[in-house]
Structure 1
Amino acid sequence: MRENTAGKWFHASVHAILLLAAVSCLIPLINIIAVSFSDSAAIDSGFVWLWPIHFNLEAYKTLFIGSRVIPSFMNSLYITVIGTGLSLLCTTLAAYALSRKYCYGRKFMTLAMVFTMMFSGGLIPFFLLIKSFGLINTYWSLWLPGLVGAYNLLLMRSYFEGIPAEIEESARIDGCGEWRLLVQIFLPLSMPVVATICLFLAVGYWNSFLNVLIFINDAEKMNLTVFVQQMVQSQSMLIQTIALQPEDLENMSPEAVKAGGIVIMTLPMLIVYPLLQKYFVKGVMLGAIKG
């Protein structure tokens, strides 16, 4: 069926708007990267825009040699890997149980999970709850509260419910139990939604900021997000964070160091997202058709 003129103009307008939105998101990122690789004189004069001027690596040398960027990066990596693995495991088990029609009380538990998406106890009760469990200054204060997210649970449950019942019946006839059914049948068929939820969880844990500030008191346990925030907050905090003297900044722009920290913080997600992009849209759309 051929598209009429109005339809063509509509699609052209939509594509133009999406292109402008994409460019508006890319330009600040490209500018930050350019600043991180530019000379201090070019940065201070305001000449740097989308391409580095007088290319140098002094900002990154300062970050990797004279600061805690590597320990903070490893803390973020530890929080993300362990937290994503635990959350994905618990979400998968809960979603599989709630997707089975013979699960007793599954409607009540589903409604209880939906209720948490609309109402919360507030920050102070949340802090008192974590403190009562003795989780202050431990990474469990970051992992345990978000072990099973309501949205992720509903998404995966809907995907499991969309798997044809004939596949399950055939597996059970062959003597397949619950664990084997989940591991060898459901999970291989659900890779799009698993990859999508894995991406959601990884981005959330990697960008953890408020919970780290509230629950983690030891500077040695701070993640990369908090480290970069402390650098960006003020120049005095920058000097303290990277352990430099004020005169050391004469030959290096503080803006380049800040930009370098932001690049280091965003780079892992920029690498991971394209690898999972092919599953992303498929996992969200198929999981949202039913339920």
Structure 2
Amino acid sequence: MHKPKHYISDYVIAAICVVISLICIIPMINLLARSLSSTDALIKHEVYLFPVDINIGAYQMVLTDPKYIKAFIWTVILTIICTVVSLVMTAACAYPLIYSELKGRSVINIFITITMFFNAGTIPNYLLMQSLGLLNKPLVLILPGCLSVYNMIIMRSFFYGIPESLRESAQIDGASFFKILSSIYIPLSKPVIATLALFYAVGRWNGYSDALMYLSGPGGSKWYPLQLLLYNILNNVNSVEVATQEGFSSPGLSEALKAAIVMFSTVPILCVYPRLQKYFMSGVMVGAVKE
């Protein structure tokens, strides 16, 4: 049996991939080791890739504190709601634009594309949320980011790749506009839907800047997502007063608790990604090359 030839470039590429993988993985391993190490080892800077004097006290503190549990549950609910709403809005925007008989389609496409490169800015957006009465309310975390133009273009391009004959035959049979979307386009678009669901879910799960801006007033703190809670802890951990409020009793414990909270907020979304990865390449590449 003929063995394939291996060139030097193959080994170079493999080595580069290994190095890049290690650059991504080693910080996570270090973080996990810090979260499981004793306070003395952390104070002495003895922790690198493996835990020293394993201690799960930081995780016990996180998992038994109602503040973290409440933020975690709210973030899960918020992520699910935002993902579903965003997918509905994306499909509702992309589907009409594939109809050549839609009047003003080219103008609509131009205006939609312009929003990818220009926006009003932070202060006008804040004033808009204020005038709509959304500040310090959960809807302020859902409505402003419910549609991504980039993701809409991907879905629209994927819809273009579905044969028009399917749509025309359904129209001849008397299928309505929404019936065609729900019965033909959505079932055939599972790869791109899964891909965009991953984009929206990761973006919402990791988002904190909008919550930091829009939930700063009275009553807003009860809607803090997990990432904003983590941001506040990491940002204020050097303050003795805040450290005491958060349950830190020593510099070592604070370092272990910070690492545990980061792991606590990162692992769930990492568990979701492998389940959707098989759709990722097909969803993005097919949607990107068909027009």
The answer to whether structure 1 residue 183 and structure 2 residue 211 are counterparts is no
Question: Is 1:66–1:242's contact at 8 Å kept on the other side of the alignment?
Answer: no
Q: Indicate the residue corresponding to 2:164 in structure 1.
A: 165
Distance 1:187 1:214, change over 3 A: same
Higher mean C-alpha displacement, 44-53 vs 213-222: 44-53
TM-aligned CA deviation for residue 180 of structure 1: 1.8
The Cα offsets for residues 245-270 of structure 1, whole Å up to 9 and x where unpaired, read as 66x338x6211100000001111110
Q: Indicate the residue corresponding to 1:116 in structure 2.
A: 115
Structure 2 counterpart SS, 1:253:
helix
Q: Tell me, in whole angstroms, the C-alpha distance in 2 between the residues paired with 1:60 and 1:237.
A: 22
Q: Indicate the residue corresponding to 1:144 in structure 2.
A: 143
TM-aligned CA deviation for residue 14 of structure 1: 2.3
Structure 2 counterpart SS, 1:71:
helix
Structure 2: any 5+ residue segments left out of the alignment? none
Distance 1:242 1:141, change over 3 A: farther
Question: Is 1:232–1:238's contact at 8 Å kept on the other side of the alignment?
Answer: no
TM-aligned CA deviation for residue 220 of structure 1: 1.4
Question: Is 1:73–1:223's contact at 8 Å kept on the other side of the alignment?
Answer: yes
Distance 1:238 1:277, change over 3 A: farther
Structure 2 counterpart SS, 1:68:
helix
TM-aligned CA deviation for residue 179 of structure 1: 1.6
Q: Tell me, in whole angstroms, the C-alpha distance in 2 between the residues paired with 1:238 and 1:262.
A: 21
Distance 1:109 1:3, change over 3 A: farther
TM-aligned CA deviation for residue 241 of structure 1: 6.6
Distance 1:290 1:245, change over 3 A: closer
Q: Indicate the residue corresponding to 2:125 in structure 1.
A: 126
Question: Is 1:230–1:237's contact at 8 Å kept on the other side of the alignment?
Answer: no
CA RMSD of aligned residues (A): 2.1
Correspondences of 1:37-186 after superposition (within 5 Å): 37-66=36-65, 68-186=67-185
Q: Indicate the residue corresponding to 2:203 in structure 1.
A: 204
The Cα offsets for residues 173-231 of structure 1, whole Å up to 9 and x where unpaired, read as 33322222111211111111000110110011111111101101322111110111122
Q: Indicate the residue corresponding to 1:249 in structure 2.
A: 250
Q: Tell me, in whole angstroms, the C-alpha distance in 2 between the residues paired with 1:257 and 1:239.
A: 16
Q: Tell me, in whole angstroms, the C-alpha distance in 1 between the residues paired with 2:243 and 2:107.
A: 49
TM-aligned CA deviation for residue 55 of structure 1: 1.7
Distance 1:205 1:114, change over 3 A: same
Percent identity, aligned pairs only? 35
Large movers: runs of 4+ above 6 Å: 2-5
The Cα offsets for residues 26-53 of structure 1, whole Å up to 9 and x where unpaired, read as 1001110111111112222222222222
Distance 1:242 1:202, change over 3 A: farther
Structure 1: any 5+ residue segments left out of the alignment? none
> TM-score by structure 2 length?
0.91
Structure 2 counterpart SS, 1:56:
coil
The Cα offsets for residues 131-186 of structure 1, whole Å up to 9 and x where unpaired, read as 11111111222221222211011000000011111222233333322222111211
Q: Indicate the residue corresponding to 2:224 in structure 1.
A: 222
Q: Tell me, in whole angstroms, the C-alpha distance in 2 between the residues paired with 1:116 and 1:49.
A: 45
